[in-house]
């Protein structure tokens, strides 16, 4: 149950006397940023909701107004559409709103609606566009089509967002990027994670033996699933890889060359993912994430996290208590943390995960909107 629908506290329904537009980038099959957007929408249920486009496989029971990009072939290519996104956010609608709130991981924070002298613009940032600002963190940003225009996009990104009155960042990592790239301050509001769902598994799921290492996420290079396979092989532990993506063929080839079982779970259901968390000795997460909901989901199931001491994991994992964080790419360095993971308290991990419930997120968002809107 969401916080907003389960309380009568008026402070948790901000901006009720003001017209509000809530905007998001493209709306895909529900992932982390989409969860944030939908949770924010519960805080301001009277807001009109805008997206660049909604993917055909995305399911959402809320009305979403799509931009004119949705009526073009560009909706099928984010890379090709990227240069047009700032223009799209300036031609979204002619309606006036008192407050505009964006959920941004590309250019949504540049949205301009209404009278610049009257409209308050607030932006919740998942990250300044990695494609534009941090291609070294995400190989998708190394697209040859983007390289010639990256400097132009960076200059436009800063110039077109000067009207934003207040930023919120999903982590201290992103807060630091906002300061470095845009020269702006931001408060930190960690995203919502469905902690109660993952923690409340049926008894037969909770009581299963923890038998394998687990990797979860989109199979793309910067997630380092290839390193997870090497770690499992060095630890002589079975590995389950859950998700899907363009690296599948490469990962299967690598898995065939190691002498430990590697099982691939293609796009597991939410229920199946919960089962996988509860059956894991540890979640492997050797990647730099902006925040990372997956490690919190794992901890909600009492599963410790073994990953990099970088990015969002520094906020979500307490090393030595709910997992182990290290700066290492050598699989051998992970052997001792994996061995010690089974000694950690499952209850400590579950308790830690509760810092990131939707109720906490929505209360923090309501406070931000009340103060800044």
CB neighbour list of residue 333: distance below 8 Å, 6 or more residues apart = 326
The total number of structural domains that make up the chain: 2
The answer on 242 and 94 residing in a single domain is no
Q: Convert 345-372 to b/e letters by CB count within 10 Å (16 or more is b).
A: ebebbbebbbebbbbbbbbbbbebbeeb
Range of the domain at 207: 195-356
The answer on 141 and 228 residing in a single domain is no
The answer on 87 and 102 residing in a single domain is yes
Q: Could you give the CA distance from residue 115 to residue 125 in angstroms, rounded to a whole number? A: 23
| Helical H segments across the chain, by residue range | 32-43, 78-81, 85-90, 130-133, 150-159, 172-177, 195-199, 203-206, 225-235, 248-256, 270-278, 293-300, 313-316, 335-341, 346-353, 358-372
Q: What is the pTM of this model?
A: 0.90
**pLDDT of res. 141:** 58
**pLDDT of res. 360:** 96
The answer on 255 and 307 residing in a single domain is yes
Q: Could you give the CA distance from residue 198 to residue 182 in angstroms, rounded to a whole number? A: 36
What CATH code is carried by the domain that includes residue 92? 3.40.50
Q: Could you give the CA distance from residue 193 to residue 348 in angstroms, rounded to a whole number? A: 17
Q: Which of 67, 134, 62, 97 has the alpha carbon at shortest distance from 311?
A: 134
The answer on 201 and 143 residing in a single domain is no
Q: Could you give the CA distance from residue 341 to residue 95 in angstroms, rounded to a whole number? A: 54
Record the tokens describing residue 117, joined without a space: 């002298």
CB 258 within 8 A of CB 233: yes
The answer on 231 and 118 residing in a single domain is no
Q: Could you give the CA distance from residue 273 to residue 298 in angstroms, rounded to a whole number? A: 10
HEC readout, 84-133: HHHHHHHCCCCCCCCEEEEEECCCHHHCCCCCCCCCEEEEEECCCCHHHH
Q: Could you give the CA distance from residue 169 to residue 196 in angstroms, rounded to a whole number? A: 24
DSSP 179: I
Place of tokens 């894991």: 280
**Neighbouring-strand partners of residue 216:** 242
The answer on 36 and 13 residing in a single domain is yes
The answer on 332 and 249 residing in a single domain is yes
Q: Which of 222, 262, 221 has the alpha carbon at shortest distance from 242?
A: 262
Record the tokens describing residue 136, joined without a space: 């070294």
The answer on 129 and 115 residing in a single domain is yes
**pLDDT of res. 7:** 39
What CATH code is carried by the domain that includes residue 265? 3.40.50.2000
CB neighbour list of residue 8: distance below 8 Å, 6 or more residues apart = none
CB neighbour list of residue 176: distance below 8 Å, 6 or more residues apart = none
CB 102 within 8 A of CB 23: yes
**pLDDT of res. 145:** 66
Helix (H, G, I), strand (E, B), or coil: what is residue 169? Answer: strand
CB 244 within 8 A of CB 269: no
The answer on 156 and 39 residing in a single domain is yes
Q: Could you give the CA distance from residue 298 to residue 259 in angstroms, rounded to a whole number? A: 26
CB 265 within 8 A of CB 272: yes
Count how many residues are written for the chain. 373
Record the tokens describing residue 233, joined without a space: 């092989």
The answer on 229 and 94 residing in a single domain is no
Phi, psi of 120 (to 5 degrees): -90, 130
Helix (H, G, I), strand (E, B), or coil: what is residue 124? Answer: strand
The answer on 179 and 34 residing in a single domain is yes
- Phi-psi bin for 67: left (phi > 0), alpha (psi -120 to 50), beta? beta
**pLDDT of res. 192:** 97
Instruction: Please report, in tens digits, the pLDDT of each residue of the chain (373 residues total).
Output: 334 444 335 456 899 999 999 999 988 766 788 999 999 999 999 999 999 988 877 677 778 888 898 889 888 887 788 778 888 888 889 899 999 999 999 899 999 998 888 999 999 999 998 878 887 776 655 666 667 778 888 888 999 999 999 999 999 999 999 999 999 999 999 999 999 999 999 999 999 999 999 999 999 998 999 999 999 999 999 999 999 999 999 999 999 999 999 999 999 999 999 999 999 999 999 999 999 999 999 999 999 999 999 999 999 999 999 999 999 999 999 999 999 999 999 999 999 999 999 999 999 999 999 999 8
């Amino acid at each position: 149950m969401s916080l907003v629908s389960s309380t009568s506290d008026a402070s948790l329904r901000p901006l009720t006397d003001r017209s509000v537009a809530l905007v998001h980038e493209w709306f895909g099959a529900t992932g982390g940023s989409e969860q944030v957007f939908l949770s924010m929408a519960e805080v301001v249920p009277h807001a009109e909701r805008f997206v660049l486009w909604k993917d055909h496989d995305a399911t959402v029971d809320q009305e979403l107004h799509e931009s004119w990009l949705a009526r073009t072939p560009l909706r099928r290519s984010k890379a090709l559409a990227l240069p047009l996104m700032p223009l799209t956010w300036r031609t979204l609608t002619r309606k006036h709103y008192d407050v505009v709130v964006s959920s941004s991981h590309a250019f949504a924070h540049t949205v301009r609606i209404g009278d610049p002298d009257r409209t308050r613009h607030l932006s919740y940032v998942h990250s300044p566009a990695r494609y534009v600002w941090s291609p070294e963190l995400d190989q998708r940003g190394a697209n040859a089509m983007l390289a010639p225009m990256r400097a132009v996009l960076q200059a436009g990104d800063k110039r077109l967002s000067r009207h934003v009155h207040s930023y919120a960042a999903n982590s201290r990592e992103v807060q630091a990027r906002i300061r470095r790239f845009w020269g702006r301050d931001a408060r930190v509001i960690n995203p919502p994670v469905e902690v109660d769902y993952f923690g409340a598994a049926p008894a037969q799921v909770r009581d299963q033996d923890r038998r394998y290492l687990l990797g979860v996420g989109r199979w793309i290079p910067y997630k380092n699933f290839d390193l997870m396979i090497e770690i499992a092989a060095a630890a002589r532990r079975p590995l389950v890889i859950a998700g899907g993506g363009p690296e599948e063929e490469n990962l299967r080839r690598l898995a065939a060359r190691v002498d430990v079982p590697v099982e691939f779970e293609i796009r597991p259901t939410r229920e199946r993912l919960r089962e996988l968390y509860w059956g894991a000795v540890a979640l492997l997460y050797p990647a730099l994430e902006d925040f990372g909901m997956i490690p919190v989901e794992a901890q909600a199931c009492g599963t410790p996290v073994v990953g990099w001491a970088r990015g969002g994991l520094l906020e979500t994992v307490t090393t030595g208590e709910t997992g182990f964080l290290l700066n290492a790419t050598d699989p051998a360095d992970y052997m001792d943390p994996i061995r010690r993971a089974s000694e950690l308290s499952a209850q400590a991990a579950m308790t830690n995960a509760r810092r990131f419930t939707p109720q906490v997120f929505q209360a923090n968002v309501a406070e931000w909107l009340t103060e800044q809107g």
